[in-house]
Amino acid sequence: MSTPVKKVPIHLQSSQNRLLIKNGQVVNDDEIFEEDIYIEDGSVKQIGRNLIIPGGTRVIDARGKYVMPGGIDPHTHFEFEFMGATSVDDFYQGTKAAIAGGTTMIIDFVMPKNGESLLDAYANYRQKADSKVCCDYALHVIVTSWNNIIKEEMNTLCHQHGVNSFKMFMAYDMMMNDGDLYSVFEHCKNIGAVPMVHAENGHIIKKNVERLLNKGITGPEGHEMSRPEEVEAEAVNRACTIAQQVNSPLYIVHVMSKSAATTLKQYREKGTNIIGETLVCALACDGSQYRHQCFWHSAGHVLSPPLRPDPNTPQFLLNFLSQDVLQLTASDNCTFNKSQKEMGKENFSKIPNGVNGVEDRMSVIWEKGVHSGLIDPTRFVAITSSNAAKIFNLYPRKGCIAIGSDADIVIWNPSKTRVISAKTHHQAVDFNVFEGMECHGVPEYVIVNGRVCVDEEQLRAVQGYGHFIETPLYPPFIYNPEKVLDLKPGKESNGVNEVELANKLHRIEMEPKGCVTPTLPNSAVSTPCCKGARPEGQRNIQESTFSVSEELDVERKSCIKVRNPPGGKSSGFW
Ligand code: URP
Ligand code: ZN
Ligand code: ZN
């Protein structure tokens, strides 16, 4: 298997090569400032006022508009073979539509086919995508089982092919068990990769589907009934627990319900490094769609986890995004046409799961978040672009407007409006879950690696213009020792150094006279002291593992080398 050859960049003519964006409000995730931006050869070269620039440079006047990092959609499934169908937006139409909406980078998922190696699956995706993508892209890789071969393949993908994230399913046929999730999370931690999960309890869903079908519930309403929000929250809780035991970071994809988001919040409050992504469809739609009279309408909204019947869910998730309980938004764009959704006409569990969103994500979030007054433009940039760049180690090359950053920029006109419709969108799919929604805020110009690909709202995307972007290991935003994780060997969950702790306990066992309550590092655990009279006939279990001769030996020595303490060998003397 070899990585596809790197493409030679398409060179722009010198007049297209240089661009000055003047008079705009430049927005990063931490500041807004009014300065001009000079772009040359695909990257930001100067920022300031009265810049000295070469003659012939194109000038765009951004007065009254926001100049923001292009969106990064961290979760798409283009031409994805799934549930007996292939999603209709391929890497060309998908990335073209992304650009139309102000997104300048996507991250898709490599899904290995049955029996296919991770490396072959990755190579196939590169082959499919490289010649088609209109904007830059990266790849996560889906892991569906655990063994030494997978472990080695993960290493190779990380060290030789620019992958730094792996997704595991807790539902569907390819779901992994808890022990294997533990092993993959642990391995990700050991190599500095980001583990991601689709969190739903697949076993419960299977039983619920059987029960509902037996009762004659076959329509799309059965989809949500089979996967209620507790089933999502349970899996989020389990995944967080596993990550906590391993002390690994964890990225939860598509958090769709109040219960799941609340569970995630509780874990974040404990200091675990859990990242929460929610979907644009969850911020604008709810589960009432599954009760629509028209099958195609309901089926068109089927995705997993599903939209929730509680109508307050979108506002709840938006509030969590504004409070940084959730960190980022994706589309999970996985589009199936009406004819494909029809596969589930007699049985909801056969409706291919997935909806659109790659084109409309930015507009819908602007409308629901910024236009509504809940979040400011800097937070908008954080949740649509910068946080994805930080989590997948692309920042500040992506997700930021700074000297040296890639010129992936959207010039956003907050005064204009547009109405979303499948009739006018640029996606291949024949349905749109945001149909009829009016959005304030329009991407008037979208600059992709220095090229103006949306020009006064006219889409001029170029097939094959994008590149595969390697995502380096150990993203500082995730693996930040000062923030959450202590990566020193031996440091485990709750900051307890297990080897150290075990050694201390061992030392107590060796105390010849009474015992001492150990101080547990970073722990509120209190150990009952065994000082004082022991009832007759009751053995001190702490002493019971030692022979008398060993105990005598202890009394004679001023220090003891602990050769084989529980939890590992030690070379230290006590
Ligand atoms: O229903 C969905 N979300 N389809 C895409 C596959 C996945 O689970 O992300
Ligand atoms: Zn999923
Ligand atoms: Zn997905």
Q: Which atom of ligand 1 is nearest to the CA of 172?
A: 8
DSSP letter for each residue of 444-470: EEEEETTEEEEETTEE---TT---B--
Q: Any idea what DSSP says for residue 557?
A: -
| Closest C-alpha to 272, from 432, 21, 485 | 485
Extract the tokens encoding 436: 């009829």
Q: Report the SS3 class of residue 54.
A: coil
Please name the residue whose Cα sits nearest to atom 9 of ligand 1.
332
pTM recorded for the entire structure:
0.86
Stretches in the chain below the pLDDT threshold 50:
1-9, 11, 484-494, 507-574
Which of 170, 304, 356 best tests ligand 1's pocket when mutated (most atoms within 8 Å of CB)?
304
Which of 76, 332, 349 best tests ligand 1's pocket when mutated (most atoms within 8 Å of CB)?
332
215 C-alpha to ligand 2 centroid (Å): 27
457 C-alpha to ligand 1 centroid (Å): 30
List all residues 6 or more positions away from 264 whose beta carbon is below 8 Å from its beta carbon.
Answer: 236, 240, 252, 255, 274, 276, 325, 326
Q: In a 10 Å sphere around its CB, with 0-12 CB exposed, 13-18 middle and 19+ buried, how is residue 143 labelled?
A: buried
306 C-alpha to ligand 3 centroid (Å): 12
257 C-alpha to ligand 2 centroid (Å): 14
pLDDT tens-digit profile of 236-266? Answer: 999 999 999 999 999 999 999 999 999 999 9
421 C-alpha to ligand 1 centroid (Å): 22
Report pLDDT for 400.
98
Q: Which atom of ligand 1 is nearest to the CA of 169?
A: 8
Q: Report the SS3 class of residue 165.
A: strand
The answer to whether 319 and 288 are in contact (CB under 8 A) is: no
204 C-alpha to ligand 1 centroid (Å): 18
Q: Which atom of ligand 1 is nearest to the CA of 353?
A: 1
Residues composing the chain: 574
Please name the residue whose Cα sits nearest to atom 8 of ligand 1.
304
Q: How many CB atoms lie within 10 A of CB 521?
A: 14
Q: Any idea what DSSP says for residue 382?
A: I
Which of 170, 251, 303 best tests ligand 1's pocket when mutated (most atoms within 8 Å of CB)?
303
Q: Residue 354 corresponds to which amino acid?
A: G
Q: Which atom of ligand 1 is nearest to the CA of 304?
A: 1
Report pLDDT for 480.
80
Place of tokens 């297209």: 16
Which of 77, 205, 223, 341 best tests ligand 1's pocket when mutated (most atoms within 8 Å of CB)?
77
Report pLDDT for 500.
67
461 C-alpha to ligand 2 centroid (Å): 28
Which CA distances in Å does 397 have to 85, 87, 158, 479? 36, 30, 19, 18
The answer to whether 50 and 10 are in contact (CB under 8 A) is: no
Report pLDDT for 454.
98
530 C-alpha to ligand 2 centroid (Å): 51
Which of 76, 88, 167, 254 best tests ligand 1's pocket when mutated (most atoms within 8 Å of CB)?
254
| Ligand 3 ion: Cβ-proximal residues, 5 Å cutoff | 332
For the stretch 59-64, contacts whose Cβ atoms lie closer than 8 Å and that sit 24 or more positions apart, written own/partner, are 59/19, 59/20, 59/22, 60/19, 60/20, 60/21, 60/22, 60/411, 60/445, 60/452, 61/22, 61/23, 62/21, 62/22, 62/23, 62/24, 62/25, 62/411, 62/445, 63/22, 63/23, 63/24, 64/413, 64/415
Q: Which atom of ligand 1 is nearest to the CA of 171?
A: 8
In angstroms, the CA 368 to CA 453 distance is 26
Four-residue CA torsion sign, 71, 76, 79, 85: negative
What are residue 274's DSSP bridge partners? 250
414 C-alpha to ligand 3 centroid (Å): 30
43 C-alpha to ligand 2 centroid (Å): 34
Report pLDDT for 567.
29
Place of tokens 């009829």: 436
What are residue 497's DSSP bridge partners? 491
Please name the residue whose Cα sits nearest to atom 4 of ligand 1.
354
Q: How many CB atoms lie within 10 A of CB 292?
A: 15
Helices (H) and strands (E) counted in the chain, each on its own, are: 18, 21
- The number of angstroms, rounded, from the C-alpha of 47 to the middle of its chain's C-alpha atoms is 31
Q: Minimum-distance ligand to the CA of 227?
A: 1
In angstroms, the CA 225 to CA 545 distance is 54
pLDDT tens-digit profile of 510-537? Answer: 443 433 333 333 333 332 222 233 333 3
415 C-alpha to ligand 1 centroid (Å): 34
Which of 109, 334, 335, 336 best tests ligand 1's pocket when mutated (most atoms within 8 Å of CB)?
334
Please name the residue whose Cα sits nearest to atom 7 of ligand 1.
304
80 C-alpha to ligand 2 centroid (Å): 12
374 C-alpha to ligand 3 centroid (Å): 27
Q: Minimum-distance ligand to the CA of 303?
A: 1
Q: Which atom of ligand 1 is nearest to the CA of 303?
A: 1
In angstroms, the CA 208 to CA 224 distance is 10
Q: Minimum-distance ligand to the CA of 282?
A: 1
Which CA distances in Å does 509 have to 530, 544, 546, 551, 555? 11, 9, 8, 9, 13
- Alpha carbons within 13 A on the beta-carbon side of 462: 18
148 C-alpha to ligand 3 centroid (Å): 26
Ligand 1 pocket, CB under 6 A: 77, 198, 254, 303-304, 332, 334, 353-354
In angstroms, the CA 184 to CA 169 distance is 12
Please name the residue whose Cα sits nearest to atom 5 of ligand 1.
354
Q: Which atom of ligand 1 is nearest to the CA of 75?
A: 9
- Chain mean pLDDT for the chain: 87
pLDDT tens-digit profile of 382-420? Answer: 999 999 999 999 999 999 999 999 999 999 999 999 999
Q: Any idea what DSSP says for residue 385?
A: I
The answer to whether 505 and 541 are in contact (CB under 8 A) is: no
Q: Which helix (H) or strand (E) holds 208?
A: helix 202-214
